[in-house]
Amino acid sequence: MKIKKIETITSNEFTEVCWVRIHTDDGRVGLGETWYLPQSVSSVIHELFAPQMIGLNPIEKDEIWNRLFRLMSVFTYSGAELRALSAIDIALWDLVGQALEQPIYNLLGGKVRDKVKIYNTIGSYGDYQDNEFEQKDPVGLAQSLLDEGIDVMKCYYLAPFSENSGGNYISSKDLKNALKPLSIQRKMLGDQIEIAHDGAGAWQLTPAVKIVKAMEEYDILWQEEMIQPVNVSTHKKLAEETKTPICAAERLMTRWGFREYIEQGVAEIVMPDLVWTGGISETKKIADFAEVYQTPIAPHDWTGPVNVFACAHISLSSQNFMIQETNRAYYKGWYHKFVEPNILIEDGYILPTEEPGLGTRLRSDVLERSDIQVRVTDEAANWNVVGFIDPGQKVPNYFSRNTS
Ligand SMILES: [Mg+2]
């Protein structure tokens, strides 16, 4: 099995998502995905990664990951390059699963649970305008989730207030107003629903401490990214001065980005974003590292349909899995327009796919949509060790294997 063609697919209707399809010489197609600046990601794939991958065997995905990471790390360890690598890694796992006729969770050690508990993050699309209802009808919103069998939700009560002050300050009066929806939810529904809170990295430390302390009386499941994960000692201070578990962080990239936060116990719940931080391979490593420190993981979502499938394989096979994020406005609203089958969610749980590989594929009519752009690489080329292409230059052995 050798890689013969790599495609990227983007949509004008869903402007954040980039799908990657890797085709092999024996007719298989692996699907990957990432989210945010899809044209930039697509350019990274076709300019930098794809020419290096033509002719390689997908089963050697660890070596491919390392080779591409070395290539991109000439300039960066994150950004569009890491998102591109994440999407490629998912597609490689999909191919290997198909070739071995096993769902990916079986290649990650096998299932340690029969289904994956989910929570719902507030989002909006089509019939579901949950962002609006977080303020307008907080009890009705929570009750509608309970009616679907979902008893954990995540909200952004403070978002309008951080915009006003740049995240530098919140008055006691504004804080009280911001927490009114939460107060009503607790009063009317008691502990029927668990509530997590996401600060979206919008606050400085001082107002973050004030907010987290004010929310303690409402028994919050976790406080996520109240401050940006750029300084582990600031996170430590936040954790020490408050009582709610600190969750970090979708903005941390690779196992090296997570290391200090896990080691120092300030990521009390570890939240990797699979399509940003390096794919299935890297997320499994982060999950295993968290397990060494007796810390649970809660994979991040709020993006495209492939991420939910990919995270479910990690969630099914990781001993320290806590709960997986989902967004009902997306999985009920638009995922079915692009993938078949769609993710199967019943009574607050994702049910595992029995299909080999990822368990889903792009619908055959996606390429017929008028809003779709496809870019293809099917020719091999080399980049030299400092990341510049120079066909006339002799390249080191570890960059030149299996290239034309
Ligand atoms: Mg978040």
Check if the beta carbon of residue 325 is closer than 8 Å to that of residue 154.
Answer: yes
If you measure from the C-alpha of residue 151 to the centroid of ligand 1, how many angstroms do you get, rounded to a whole number? 18
Task: Give percent of the chain above pLDDT 70.
Answer: 95
Question: Bridge-partner residues for 152, per DSSP?
Answer: 194
C-alpha 78 to ligand 1 mean position (Å): 18
Q: Indicate if 324 and 378 belong to the same structural domain.
A: no
- What's the pLDDT score for residue 384? 62
Centre of ligand 1 to C-alpha 365, Å, is 33
Residue 354 CB neighbours (<10 A): 7
Q: How many domains does the chain have?
A: 2
Q: Is residue 390 part of a domain?
A: yes
Q: Do 121 and 208 reside in the same domain of the chain?
A: yes
* CATH code of the domain covering residue 174: 3.20.20.120
Measured in Å, residue 67 CA sits from the centre of ligand 1 at 30
- For ligand 1, a single-atom ion, the residues with CB < 5 A are 198
Q: Is 78 part of any domain?
A: yes
- Write down the pTM of the prediction: 0.95
Answer yes or no: do 225 and 297 share one domain: yes
Is position 365 within any domain?
no
How far apart are the CA of 102 and the centre of ligand 1, in A?
A: 32
Beta bridge partners of 6: 22, 377
- Centre of ligand 1 to C-alpha 248, Å, is 8
- Do 235 and 208 lie in one domain? The reply is yes
Confidence of residue 47 (pLDDT cuts 50, 70, 90): confident
* Centroid of ligand 1 to alpha carbon of 295 (angstroms): 18
Give the domain extent around 230: 105-359
Å from CA of 214 to ligand 1 middle: 20
CA 268 to ligand 1 center in whole angstroms: 15
Judgement on whether residues 109 and 94 belong to the same structural domain of the protein: no
| 403, 383 Cβ separation under 8 angstroms | no
Please check whether residues 41 and 60 belong to one and the same domain. yes
Indicate whether 114 belongs to any domain: yes
Residues 294 and 320 in one domain: yes
Which CATH number characterizes residue 83's domain?
3.30.390.10
Q: 174 in a domain, yes or no? A: yes
Strand partners, 154: 121, 196
Tokens 């719902």 label which residue?
A: 120
Instruction: Give the residue among 43, 5, 35, 3 at the shortest CA–CA distance from 19.
Output: 35
Q: What tens digit of pLDDT does each residue of 198-230 get? A: 999 999 999 999 999 999 999 999 999 999 999
Task: Look at residue 375 in the predicted model and tell me its pLDDT.
Answer: 93
What is the chain's mean pLDDT, rounded?
93
254 C-alpha to ligand 1 centroid (Å): 17
Distance 281 CA to ligand 1 centre (A): 21
In a shared domain, residues 132 and 274: yes
Indicate whether 364 belongs to any domain: no
Same domain? For 116 and 50 the reply is: no
CA of 246 to the centre of ligand 1 (A): 12
Cβ atoms of residues 83 and 275 within 8 Å: yes
pLDDT value at residue 319: 98
Rg (CA), the chain: 22
Identify whether 70 is part of a domain.
Answer: yes
Tens of pLDDT, residue by residue over 141-189, are 999 999 999 999 999 999 989 988 999 999 999 999 999 999 999 999 9
pLDDT at 60 over 60: yes
Cα distances (Å, whole numbers) of residue 82 to 42, 77, 90, 251, 392: 12, 7, 12, 12, 28
Kind and range of the H or E element at 248? Answer: strand 246-248
Helix (H) or strand (E) holding 79: helix 79-100
Is residue 38 domain-shared with residue 135, that is, in the same domain? no
Give 157 Cα–ligand 1 centroid separation in angstroms.
13
Burial class (CB in 10 A: 0-12, 13-18, 19+), 58: buried
pLDDT at 397: 38
Same domain, 14 and 56: yes
| Same domain membership, residue 379 and residue 326 | no
For residue 324, the CA-to-ligand 1 centroid distance in Å is 12
Residue 177 included in any domain: yes
Give the long-range contacts of residues 124-133, CB within 8 A, separation 24 or more.
Answer: 124/329, 125/329, 125/330, 125/333, 125/334, 126/329, 126/332, 126/333, 126/334, 127/332, 127/333, 128/328, 128/329, 128/332, 128/333, 129/329, 130/328, 130/329
Give the distance (Å) from ligand 1 centre to CA of residue 227: 11
3-state secondary structure of 131: helix
Q: Which residues of 248-257 are buried (b: 16+ CB within 10 A; e: fewer)?
A: bbbbbbbbeb
Structure tokens at 208: 């973050």
Ligand 1 geometric centre to CA of 307 (Å): 15
Placement of tokens 């300019």 in the chain: 47
